[in-house]
Each structure stands twice: as C-alpha cells, then as structure tokens.
Amino acid sequence: MKYIQQEGFLIKQIGENLMSAQEIVNKIDVNGNHSPFAVYLDEDVFELEQENLYRGKVWSYIGLDAEVPNAGDYKTTFVGDTPIVLTRAEDGSLNAWVNRCAHKGAVVCRERHGHSEDGAFTCVYHQWAYDAKGDLKGVPFRRGMKGQGGYAKDFDMKDYGLQTLRVQTVAQMVFATFDSETPDLEEFLGEKMCANIKRIMHKPLKIIGHTRQFMKGNWKAYAENSRDSYHGALLHLFYPTFGIYRQGQVSEGVTDKVGCHNYFNVSAPPKEDLDYKDYADEANREMQGPHQLKDTRVLNFIPERDDNVALSIQSLFPSVVLQQIQNTLAARQVLPKSTNETELVWTFFGYEDDDAAMDEHRLRNINLVGPAGLISMEDGEAVELVQNGVHRDGELCSFIEMGGNDVEDYTSPMGMDENAVRGFWKGYRAIMARD
C-alpha cells in the first residue's frame, strides 16, 4: 500500500488516485477475474467486511451440532472478529449470542468448549448470569443491601440480555447471522450445496478432535486456495506421487447460482487401472528421488457411499470448508484475525456407528490433512507467500482467467481452471460493492 501526506494525515494512495476501502472493493471485476491486491492489505477493507459481510445478509458457520450434544454444552467461536458462543438449551434448541456481558462488556465464556451443569453462563467479573438462550437471569445485589446501593426500581433484567444471532442448521452444520432479513440458510446456500452437505453428513456424527492453524495471511487468500483446483496436483505433489489424485481423473466442479459457494468431487480410480507412474507423468512437477511410505494404510480408501467419491472439497462462503479426503472428514472454519492473520480451526468427525477399526482408520487418515498434513501442509505456506509477495503493491491486480473470464456452474474434469476462484470474487463483490 502506498500513502501520501495530505493536510497532516497519511492517506492511502493507489496509483495516482486516492481510494477508500469501498473504492478498492468496487475495483474487483464484476465477473471475478481480477481483484486488486489491496483487498488483502487494507485495514479499512477488513473493517468494511465486518459490517457489510459478517454482520450483513450472510450465514457464517459456527460449529457442528455434535459439538454441543447436551443441554448446557457450549462452544466459543467467532463470526468475523466478533466472539460468539454456541449453546444447547434445556429445550434442545441451539442458540448463539455475542460473548460479551451486557454489564461491562467482559467475555462471559472463556473456554473453547465446556458444559454448564446448572445451565447458567456467568460472567466472572460481576457474576451476571445468563441462561443458554442469552436471557439475563441473575444480578448480584440488584436491590442493594440494607437500603444501600442496587439498581433503580425500574431496572428490568429482560432489557439486559445478551445480543443474539439467528441460528439455522443444514445436515448437522450450524450457521448464524446477525441480520434479521438474511434469507433462510438453505436458500442462501442453494439446493446443490445443501445436497452435497447432506451427502457427507448422511447420518449422526461423532467428534474425533480439533486442530488449530495460524497463517500470516489474509483470510481471502485461503478462501481462494480452497476453491482453486488448479494448484491441486501442482503444489500438493503427494497427490500424484502416491496415486490419490491426478488432473485427468474423473471429477467435477460445481458452483451455486452466484458462484461464491462451490464443491469439487473426485472419484477414486478403478483399482485395476491404478498405476502410480501414470499419476507422476501427468503432474507438471513430481517429487524428486525415491519416495515410499512405511505404512501405506494411510492411503486406503474405504467406500462409504454409492458414488465412489474419494475426495470432496466444499467451500461455503465465507467461513467454512467441508472436506472428505479418503475417509477423513472435517469442517475447516476460517476465522479472520486481521488483514494479515487468519486462524483455521479443523474439526474432525466420523459417524456414531463407526466401529473400532473405522475409528482407527479415520485417525490414520488424518495424517493426510490438518496443519502438518502430508497433503495440506503446503496451503498455509501458499497463503503466506501471497501475502508477502503483494504487501507493497496494492494497486496491482491478480489475474484469474485460467479456463475463462466468467463463472460457469459446472466444470469437468476439474483442475484446469480457476472457475470457483472467480466465483468467490464475484460473490464477494456482489455483497461488498457499492457502485
């Protein structure tokens, strides 16, 4: 980002023009094929996102139903940079509220996951207590003591509940929105996206565990990465080297009607046709030297559905990636922390009816993904490489025209285009721009 001195203030300058955060966003091409690097760098753009996007007519993923199975269970998370608590109430309902006491603004729940035995959520600062729905239920010394102190007679606890969000679910994925006018969740996601979610979450889930990853890069660089099939066998050489994925494999890329949501599904190759050398030959690069795994069971794929899909990456705007890679299942929640810092929370899950052998297999498969996964460890570095490369020249634009310059709702095979990346920017601009 470049700056000039004007009337005693530093003003952002792009080229010869002074540009506000709104003008930077408006500069994104309407078809998503170019975007200024300033969208990764500008702090005012980051603040604009919090209001127009995360607090706008958008559903943000906040967790899985299975993470709060019982009344009194809770999970702390974020919508954008706003701290949020997901709870299960006595009536079984899921609720979300801002993790901020109505008294002094202190954080109410301090643990990532927890359980309240009595159903009360109490701020440690002054002991204001709320129920799972965010309603204020108790205030110490509300009437004072011995005629001294206390609140006014017209103080009504009903007026001091926590700020709540709307909550809806699709197939055990829980989403929240600040905006009362946001269309229902299934309308926001679209029929095709909901169908793929239900494909993965077709029976009750059980949580395996969590990992957390911090990247020194903007959240949108990771949003692009998860939608970018072009890099799959180029960056992730583990794929072609060990026969999990190659560009010519049977696959499809599907977007919603706008393009900001998408999924990639790749079928497992027929075992009789599997030749690892063919995979390496199709890659533009390949690992140098001999590479072998001491335990090849990490590569095993056990079909669990009729469709034989062995790899599914679904990116739901703006905040989550739902994945099936072999038999490892996870939701990756994307949390923006600043212009140049992103937290990625991986929630790994299986199914309630998994036997001990499948539990062990899924745990073994997890070695493929996560912050240090044999496949996915390069993605975090790629995000940081982008951030480091563009940080001084925000006036320049990315070039996103592999496979075209607009968004198609279907591509096959995937891997030779940037269609879904254009979809992200097209959808982002539709929400953020004010032309």
Look up residue 291 and give its amino acid.
H
At 107 the pLDDT is: 98
Instruction: Report angle CA 367, 372, 373 to the nearest 5 degrees.
Output: 35
Q: How far apart are CA 338 and CA 408, in angstroms?
A: 32
Q: What is the pLDDT of residues 297-353, one digit of tens each?
A: 998 999 999 888 999 999 999 999 999 999 999 999 999 999 999 999 999 999 999
Q: What is the DSSP letter of 297?
A: G
Q: How far apart are CA 279 and CA 248, in angstroms?
A: 9
Q: Is residue 72 within 8 Å of residue 58, measured between CB atoms?
A: no
At 34 the pLDDT is: 96
The Cβ of residue 120 has, within 10 Å, a number of other Cβ atoms equal to 14
Helix (H, G, I), strand (E, B) or coil at 66: helix
Q: What is the DSSP letter of 315?
A: E
Q: Does domain 189-432 have CATH number 3.90.380.10?
A: yes
Q: How far apart are CA 400 and CA 407, in angstroms?
A: 11
At 20 the pLDDT is: 92
Q: What is the CATH number of domain 60-169?
A: 2.102.10.10
- Residues for the chain: how many in total? 435
Listed by start position, the domains of the chain span: 60-169, 189-432
Nearest CA to 172 among 68, 65, 322, 75? 65
Q: Which residues of the chain have pLDDT under 70?
A: 1-18, 245-248, 269-290
Q: How far apart are CA 174 and CA 66, in angstroms?
A: 10
Q: How far apart are CA 377 and CA 247, in angstroms?
A: 20
DSSP labels, 91-107: TS-EEEEESS-TTT---
The Cβ of residue 138 has, within 10 Å, a number of other Cβ atoms equal to 13
* E strand or H helix that includes residue 234: helix 232-235
At 308 the pLDDT is: 86
